[in-house]
């Protein structure tokens, strides 16, 4: 990991706010995932952090990609444009899944020449794909329990298991090929039983499809949700991997391909945010620090990802509970109302936040005219 001395050096060199991405950590996380789940093909969820340099590192490591928009598709595609057409087409089919179940007609029309895998979860989407992307392969996304996950997704996406085979047969009747099933147990899924329940639901749908005459499915996409150790309450990945491996071996023959879409797990621990104190005040008896980064920028995950990123000071001192606010002239820009920081920090002092690589800088805006943090890549 990056040392505190190196972080301070980078801040002096580049200024703040700064978003430091360690590519050695990206590679370590990828290797850990592969080692823990050897049967699973890794498809990095680009939305977690779409920085092209991050995508390039995972591409070079051998990853596939879960994309959910055409801009994300194009970020990945730029690394294979040099391949001959047949090889490029084979790579797209084998290494990209367009995992947004709801797609605009224009998106489908643009996707069709690439003949990719795309997800769906309702009858209306079948008609759209038939009309605008008939060369795509389909993956049916199932509704599965999201109990205990920090970000719940089952309200927005997923076909009910009871209607799943009807949708598969409807797609088949429309002249489309359903290649397999997918699900997502919710982001930062600390309840490992969600995976057990989801895998059993998927196995039941596989069996029902066979019983009703559809035998063309050969893959299961187990989605993302693999939790990051933001704190000591998160159980280790090795424990979850053991559970998943056991269920995969029990439920699915070896000829069934298994995909996963880790995003947070691969990038969260690989980035550190560095900010500078630009204001200090006492309000109603409580110490308040103002920094040059906030929820409209790197700390957007406080709002969009239901995540807290503890701030730490490079300078020592007796900590006390204080508030930390971002730089914009907006009351929503609250990084934390209960941060433990030294009371002796001064204007110009630096703070840092670890484990902030996922769903953070990716959502930065230019609100109030403040630019996003500068990104610096190390160990590329």
pLDDT digits (tens, 9 = 90+) for 292-310: 999 999 999 998 888 899 9
* Tens digits of residue pLDDT in 92-114: 999 999 999 999 999 999 999 99
pLDDT at residue 124 is higher than 90:
yes
State mean pLDDT over 69-75: 97
* Tens digits of residue pLDDT in 333-374: 999 999 999 999 999 999 999 999 999 999 999 999 999 999
Instruction: List, as one string, the DSSP characters of 35-62.
Output: HH-TTEEEEEEGGG---HHHHHHHHHHT
Domains of the chain are: 4-19+269-378 (2.40.37.10), 23-267 (3.20.20.10)
Residue 181 is predicted with a pLDDT of 98
**How far is the C-alpha of 293 from the C-alpha of 71, rounded, in Å?**
26
Residue 100 is predicted with a pLDDT of 96
Residue 266 is predicted with a pLDDT of 98
* 288 belongs to the catalytic site: no
**Distances 59 to 43, 80, 136, 239 between C-alpha atoms, Å:** 10, 9, 22, 27
* Tens digits of residue pLDDT in 228-238: 989 888 899 99
Mean pLDDT of the chain: 95
Residue 146 is predicted with a pLDDT of 76
* Tens digits of residue pLDDT in 192-202: 889 999 999 99
Residue 190 is predicted with a pLDDT of 78
| Cβ neighbours for 28, distance < 8 A, ≥ 6 positions apart | none
Residue 1 is predicted with a pLDDT of 73
Three-state SS sequence of 8-26: HHHHHHHCCCEEEEEHHHH
* Tens digits of residue pLDDT in 132-178: 999 999 999 999 867 766 665 677 789 999 999 999 999 999 999 99
64 has which bridge partners? 43
pLDDT at residue 265 is higher than 90:
yes
- Say what the pTM is: 0.95
Catalytic residue among 288, 307, 322, 329: 329
Q: Give Cα 211 to chain centroid, integer Å.
A: 35
pLDDT at residue 64 is higher than 80:
yes
């Amino acid at each position: 990991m990056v040392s505190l001395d190196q972080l301070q050096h980078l801040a002096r060199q580049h200024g703040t706010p700064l978003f430091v991405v360690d590519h050695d950590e990206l590679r370590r996380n990828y290797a850990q995932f592969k080692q823990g789940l050897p049967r699973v093909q890794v498809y990095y969820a680009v939305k977690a952090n779409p920085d092209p340099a991050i995508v390039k590192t995972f591409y070079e490591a051998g990853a596939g990609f879960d994309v959910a928009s055409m801009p994300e598709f194009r970020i990945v595609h730029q690394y294979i444009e040099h391949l001959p057409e047949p090889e490029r087409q084979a790579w797209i089919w084998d290494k990209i899944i367009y995992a947004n179940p709801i797609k605009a007609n224009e998106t489908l029309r643009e996707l069709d020449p690439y003949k990719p895998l795309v997800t769906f979860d309702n009858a209306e989407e079948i008609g759209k794909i038939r009309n605008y992307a008939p060369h795509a392969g389909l993956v049916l996304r199932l509704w599965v329990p999201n109990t205990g996950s920090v970000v719940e997704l089952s309200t927005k996406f997923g076909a009910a298991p009871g209607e799943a085979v009807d949708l598969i047969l409807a797609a088949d009747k429309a002249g489309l090929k359903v290649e397999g099933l997918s699900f997502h147990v919710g982001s930062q899924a600390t309840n490992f039983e969600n995976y057990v329940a989801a895998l059993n639901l998927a196995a039941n749908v596989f069996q029902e499809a066979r019983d009703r005459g559809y035998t063309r499915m050969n893959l299961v996409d187990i989605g993302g949700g693999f939790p990051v150790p933001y704190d000591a309450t998160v159980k280790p990945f090795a424990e979850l991997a053991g559970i998943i491996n056991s269920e995969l071996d029990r439920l699915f023959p070896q000829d069934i391909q298994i995909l996963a879409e880790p995003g947070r797990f691969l990038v969260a621990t690989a980035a550190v945010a560095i900010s500078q104190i630009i204001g200090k005040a006492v309000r109603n008896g409580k110490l308040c620090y103002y920094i040059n980064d906030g929820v409209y920028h790197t700390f957007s995950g406080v709002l969009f990802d239901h995540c807290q990123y503890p701030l730490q000071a490079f300078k020592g001192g007796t900590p006390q509970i204080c508030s930390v606010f971002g730089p914009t002239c907006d009351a929503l820009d609250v990084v934390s109302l209960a941060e433990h920081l030294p009371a002796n920090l001064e204007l110009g002092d630096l703070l840092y936040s670890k484990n902030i690589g996922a769903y953070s800088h990716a959502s930065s805006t230019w609100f109030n005219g403040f630019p996003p943090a500068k990104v610096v890549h190390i160990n590329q």
